[in-house]
Structure 1
Amino acid sequence: MAAVILDNGAYTAKVGFSTDNESRVVANYKAKAKNERKRAFIASQLDDCKDYSGLYYLLPFQKGFLVNWDVEREVWDFIFGKDLLNVSFKDTGMVITEPYFNFGSIQETMNEIFFEEYNFKSLLRTNAGTLSAFKNRQEDLKRLCCLVVDSGYSFTHVAPYCGGKKIVKAVYRIEVGGKMLTNHLKEMISYRQLHVMDETYVMNQVKEDVCYASLELYKDMEIARKKGKANTNMRDYVLPDYAHIKRGYTKPADDESKMEGHEQILRMNNERFTIPEILFHPSDIGIHQMGIPELIVQSIQQCPEEMQPHLYMNIVLTGGNMLFPGIQERVYKEVRALAPDYYKVNVHCPENAITYAWTGGKALVGEQNTFKKMSVTREQYEEHGQNICIETFDV
């Protein structure tokens, strides 16, 4: 049976059929541009936008949870419709992800929408980390346990798995995600150089293009204090103007270079590494929670002792925030310093960190027997209602 796999992130939706080789990554929101107020861009329509400056967002998610159903339905209608997937609902299964500790009212509404409005043949509601753990196990059947770090738009979750089952009491969350990092970068740039508080889309690109996780923070801070060519950390970021430059780009900073004609430049210095540093020290911006390495160790310590060496040996980094250069080495370095000496530590970051959960969903649908056991069919839902979903879905 073919199935639609939808990793329904708060910022992007990773979606495709189980028969597809790769997922499509589309915006999971509506957006309006300054120059086209009458038109709203939904999902992949955002590629048609000609000017991303001052983009106004209508987000279905707030603080990591799905609350604006009207916007989400519009996005789903577009994804399932003729413009993208063209789904035949009655012959197709559905796999959708939701955050850990999701509210029961949201879960019930999702069940109703997929069975009663869209009429999918079957439904599997699960966590993105569960799909990532399934994919990790499939890559090497000797890996009984894994610890999934999922750092997305709103949250960062750490969840240990053994034999495909999550250890619920050891799942932890910190309130730091990509949205917070981008907002903090906007504040820093607005305070130091140029007012960019309305330029979320552009500053998100700046963050992705320029920032990195520092392996030696104090050394990088010393370099950032230097003047001229001695400051090897400094970069000039040329902002897009959407007339001559469609997407911003970096170039090495040079004291003697001046802005040319239409070029508008941001000078990026210690912002390059202090923004990702929030993932390791949330207290830097007043959030009194642990950073990712401490969270990993805390989570593993909550698991049975015989499981702990296997979890330290298989830490998997997923989500958009795990794409910062140097983050894999930084997590390894800090976890190694915190973990007991007699345990080996191995941190793995897949190439497709954003779509890794989606590929896990594809692998799961491929194992039909497992998939059927975890899913609820439309007939079962019509007979038993919400109760069958509560009993079947492990979320």
Structure 2
Amino acid sequence: MAVVVLDNGAYTAKVGLATQDEPKVVPNCIMKAKSERRRAFVGNQIDECRDTSALFYILAFQRGYLLNWDTQKTVWDYIFSKDGIGCSLDNRTIVITEPQMNFQSVQEAMLEMLFEEYRIGGMYKATAADLAAFNYVADSEERTTMQTLNCIIIDVGYSFTHIVPFVLGRRVLEAIRRIDIGGKALTNHLKELISYRQLNVMDESHVVNQIKEDVCYVAEDFKDAMSVHQSEQRRKEVAVEYVLPDFTTVKRGYIRVPGQPRYDEDQQQMVPLCNERFTVPELLFNPSDIGISQVGIPEAVADALQACPWEAHRELLLNILIVGGSAQFPGFLPRLKRDLRALVPDDLEVSLICPEDPVRYAWYGGREVATSPNFDEFTYTRYDYEEFGIHGLQQR
């Protein structure tokens, strides 16, 4: 039977069989809408909801770790049903991801649920950064193997951003850095800005997340960008009007194009946005803007580099791979390269790689793992679980 690959993220789960070309992306939560109070929407069932205003989210992950097991089981039941990928986990092997530095109690709970509730035949557990590194090797045109890989993975996730260096194919544990900023914090900050300046959208996480994806970008020079209000011309270049959905004629919001009005546009509610467009993603570079006393991504990368063997620094800086949903902001790569260039030695080159699909990149790595020739040697089987429990998996 084909191996199941599940990149179990805090915001979305990417899941599919290792024989498939691409995964299914499923919201990893239960949602309740005001318009249909009797029904809870699980995963992609939210597409059936006519009015997604004031959506209430019940998340499986809290602060980046899987803690709500009832919610997670409900989502997994949906994923492995006919509406999901159409196959059960019974006696199958699964490749599944977990957060960096995961708590042992969470690992034990996951192991117990998969083997006891879903009756899997075996499992291979890794972090999203591990799978991204494996996929990076598979995509490499040079003759790089996992044993010779030197790279830095920047995983800009939903709850955290992780910087994970790999030297000779292994994670340098003492060099891993975590910043408590991710897509969730950016959406919440944008909600607050719009609510204080325009209209109350504190209950509209779903809509504000779409606004963030549609209008936000990273400013290459933040101080220069903040002078946008000093001239009318510059303000016009940045300012946009966002048409909010009314869920009757407009199902999803969009940026209003001056001079090209859509049908019935004058009667729709709009939100004017200006410096919010670049001040929200700026949190990835300056978390202190919202009172988080941590450094930004460039400083965290430079600090992680110092904890790695100096012989690997040149190759590490030439192979910086960026994955995760928030890596898709326009201008993110040039800004990160500029800031990082100022923090590392002048004689070392800096090269950033962002794949076309940073959200599903780790899943493709899981597929590469599952189809590798010696995959069976690394799986933790039902026999191993019954014989050794959690301790055998940690040794493996």
**Residues of 2 paired with 1:385 and 1:14: CA distance?**
27
Q: Which residue of 2 aligns with 1:378?
A: 382
Partner of 2:174: 169
Give the CA deviation at 1:261.
4.0
Change (3 A) 1:263 1:376: same
Q: Which residue of 2 aligns with 1:63?
A: 63
Question: Does the 8 Å contact 1:220/1:233 carry over to 2?
Answer: no
The residue aligned with 1:9 is 9
Q: 1:88 to 1:191 in 2, by over 3 A?
A: closer
Q: Say which SS state the counterpart of residue 166 (structure 2) adopts.
A: strand
Comparing 91-100 with 236-245, greater Cα deviation is found at 91-100
TM-score, normalising length from structure 1?
Answer: 0.95
Distance 2:223 2:256 in 1: 24
- 1:28 maps to what in 2? 28
Cα deviation, 1:103-152, whole Å, max 9, x if unaligned, reads 10000010111111111111111100000011111222337211000011
Q: Is the 8 A contact 2:133 2:153 kept in 1?
A: yes
Q: CA deviation at 1:225?
A: 4.1
Query: Is residue 2:186 matched to residue 1:186?
Result: no
CA contact (8 A) 2:91 2:119 kept: no
2:358 matched to 1:339? Answer: no
Kept in 2: contact 1:235–1:253 (CA 8 A):
no
1:255-314 residue CA offsets vs partner (Å, 9 max, x unmatched) = xxxx94431111110000000000000011111101000001110110001111111000
Q: Does 1:239 align with 2:244?
A: yes
Q: In structure 1, which of residues 284, 293, 314 is the aligned counterpart of residue 319 of structure 2?
A: 314
Partner of 2:118: 118
Pick which of 46-55 and 220-229 moved more.
Answer: 220-229
- Post-superposition Cα deviations, 1:162-219, rounded to whole Å, max 9, x if no partner, equal 2331110100101001111000000000000111000000000000000001112222
Runs (4+) of structure 1 exceeding 6 A deviation are none
User: Does the alignment pair 1:44 with 2:49?
Assistant: no
- Using the alignment, how far apart are the partners of 2:331 and 2:265 within structure 1? 32
Q: Give the Å deviation of 1:253.
A: 6.0
Say which SS state the counterpart of residue 368 (structure 1) adopts: coil
Higher deviation after alignment, 125-134 or 375-384: 375-384
C-alpha displacement of 1:97: 0.6
Using the alignment, how far apart are the partners of 1:329 and 1:179 within structure 2? 23
Distance 1:88 1:195 in 2: 43
Structure 2 counterpart of 1:387: 391
| Alpha-carbon separation, structure 2, partners of 1:387 and 1:5 | 23
Match of 1:18 in 2: 18
- 1:89 counterpart SS class: coil
Letter in 2 for 1:134: F
Contact 1:225 1:231 in 2 (8 A): no
SS at match of 1:297: helix
TM-score when scaled to structure 2?
Answer: 0.95
The answer for the alignment partner of 2:362 in structure 1 is: 357
Asked if structure 2 preserves the Cα contact closer than 8 Å seen for 1:154 and 1:177, the reply is yes
Coordinate RMSD, CA, aligned: 1.8
- 1:101: Cα distance to partner? 1.1
Number of the residue aligned with 2:100: 100
Identity %, equivalent residues: 47
How many residues of Structure 1 are paired with residues of Structure 2 in the alignment? 389
* Counterpart code for 1:235: V
Q: State the distance in 2 between where 1:111 and 1:130 align.
A: 19
Letter of the 2:255 counterpart: T
Q: Aligned partners of 2:184, 2:115: CA distance in 1, in Å?
A: 32
Q: Which amino acid aligns with 1:305?
A: W
Contact 1:234 1:253 in 2 (8 A): no
Corresponding residue of 2:209: 204
What are the Cα deviations for residues 198-249 of structure 1, in whole angstroms up to 9, with x where unaligned?
0000000000000001112222222244336752111111000001101000
Indicate the SS of the match to 1:232.
Answer: helix
CA–CA distance in structure 2, aligned partners of residues 224 and 233 of structure 1? 10
> Which residue of 1 is the match for residue 308 of structure 2?
303
